[in-house]
Amino acid sequence: MLLGICLGAVFVAAALAAALMIWARADARLDFTVVDSLSGSWVWDFTARIQDRFTRGYYQSDVVPAVFRFTRLAPGQAMLQVSTPHY
């Protein structure tokens, strides 16, 4: 009986530790749009970089600017760099 209680306690402690590790390693995500500061319209052919990742933006909707997303970012501070060579 005592062995069963001890094994149950060890199982609960291990499950709690695993849940805490998963919660602590939660990935960060960044959603953003790129718009012209004067007209408010979308920007053609841009490259956005953050934490050694990049995405390219070409044609977007005429109704609303597209939302771009970086996922699985390391938690903490980072700088988003956006370049537009033909703008």
| Domain segments of the chain as ranges | 27-83
pLDDT of 4 above 70: no
Contact between 34 and 72 under an 8 Å Cβ cutoff? The reply is no
Q: Could you report the per-residue pLDDT of 60-83, keeping only the tens digit for each?
A: 777 777 889 999 888 888 999 999
Two structure tokens written together for 82: 């956006």
Return the top range by mean pLDDT from 35-39, 46-50, 54-58. Answer: 46-50
Confidence of residue 39 (pLDDT cuts 50, 70, 90): confident
Report the pLDDT averaged over residues 6-33: 62
Token representation of residue 76: 């903490």
